[in-house]
Amino acid sequence: MEDQTRRRFIQKAAALSAAPFISTSVTRALARDSQKKLGWALCGLGSLSTNQIAPALLKTQHARLAGVVTDTPEKAKRWQQQYGIPAKSCYTYATMEKMAHDKNIDVVYIVTPNALHLEQTQRAAKAGKHVYCEKPMETSAERAQQMIDACKAADRKLGVAYRCRFEPNNLECVRIAREKELGALRIVEANFGFPIGDPNQWRLKRALSGGGALLDVGIYALQATRYLTGEEPISVFATETKTDPVKFAEVDESIVWTAKFPSGVVSSCSTSFAAAGMGNYLVHTERGWFGLEPAYVYSGIRGRRSDGKEINLPGIDQFAAEMDDFSRCILEADTSIVSGEEGLRDMKILMAIYESARSGKVVSLA
């Protein structure tokens, strides 16, 4: 940043210091003034990268698509052409370390099967890059912890792609909860599931996924119970069921679980790879209820409240929002609300849910 620019930035920051969203405002000023956009490299060019993340990077204020990591040469070539990525910023999984010399890239966004996250995080961090990673973080809490350790050792930031944390209707529900607008929370019901297609996909192979519906989409319902209550569960109990033991030979098909929170709130959640149209939450409070249906989709999230008021805020590109926020955290040396530590909290609870499903016993998280 030039001195002239920095001075203007500091002046703007001072002028904005009474504004409610100071850090975002400051960042906007910063971005406008410095034209600074962090370079993001996408590691894994599957459908999420192709259809959601790359298009979102055309809208981001503080992030731009700067590189890719793929083992498929045709994909690398296609992405170079489509997004004007320099050939030198296209890597394979084996050559990721060479990114250390690529000043074009600041962040690596890992969008690969769960069991690959740790090694790729370690490589990116060693190359001096910040890491943003799809959820679930990894296949176990231990491996998630190692991701945190790797980034800490390299003094790089680690974030987990919980896009709903930036989505206006979800944030509105958090506000209703936090301000007790309908009274104290009592029971949170949340679910997420879908009938999974191709039986050969990585999500059904334990070695790559570490688990089934719970890790893939149940994690959204779990996150929702945590951000809605603002509390950490103290115990969980889970029941697993499997109607297709062939297709789901390696991973969980459907799980329902309940959790108890310190204030006395209880949650009741379900997830499935064999049921359609799941993806809602409903919060029962002292004086009413509120919730989203659907709660976790890319667009069209909306909700209802017992007092008849609508929850229907305009949608945003959640991928753009989360990448902008993580870029902002790097630029401002701020802590991300979706840090590795936050991801690890979920991993520990997810593993407790599996443990309970296996043992048939309540698992304490205290």
Catalytic residue numbers? 135, 220
Kindly tell me which residue out of 266, 297, 316, 365 binds a copy of itself, with binding defined by CB under 8 A.
Answer: 266
Judged by DSSP in three states, 19 sits in coil
Element (H, E) at 40: strand 38-43
Among 51, 72, 239, 299, binds a copy of itself (CB under 8 A): 239
How far is residue 121's CA from residue 249's CA, in Å, rounded to a whole number? 29
We find the least distance from the C-beta atom of residue 245 to a copy of itself, in angstroms, to be 10
Residue 365 lies near a copy of itself (rule: CB under 8 A)? no
Q: Among 22-30, 39-47, 136-144, 276-284, which window interacts with a copy of itself (CB under 8 A)?
A: 276-284
237 binds a copy of itself (CB under 8 A): yes
Strand 278-285 versus strand 289-292 pairing type: antiparallel
Name residues whose C-beta falls within 8 Å of residue 346's C-beta, 6 or more positions apart in sequence.
135, 136, 137, 219, 222, 223, 226
CB closer to a copy of itself, 160 vs 177: 177
Residue 84 dihedral angles phi and psi, to the nearest 5°: 60, 40
The interface mask with a copy of itself, positions 154-193, x = CB under 8 A, is: ----------------------------xxx-xx-x-x-x
Is the Cα dihedral 176, 182, 187, 192 positive or negative?
A: negative
Q: Which helix (H) or strand (E) holds 141?
A: helix 141-153
Nearer to a copy of itself, 335 or 364 (CB): 364
Q: Which amino acid is at 97?
A: E
Does 361 sit near a copy of itself (CB under 8 A)?
A: yes
What x/- string results for residues 298 through 327 when contact with a copy of itself is judged by CB under 8 A?
--------x---------------------
Total residues belonging to the chain: 366
Cβ atoms of 134 and 157 closer than 8 Å: no
Binding site for a copy of itself (CB under 8 A): 182-184, 186-187, 189, 191, 193, 195, 235, 237, 239, 241-243, 254, 256-260, 263-270, 272, 274-278, 280, 282, 284-289, 306, 360-362
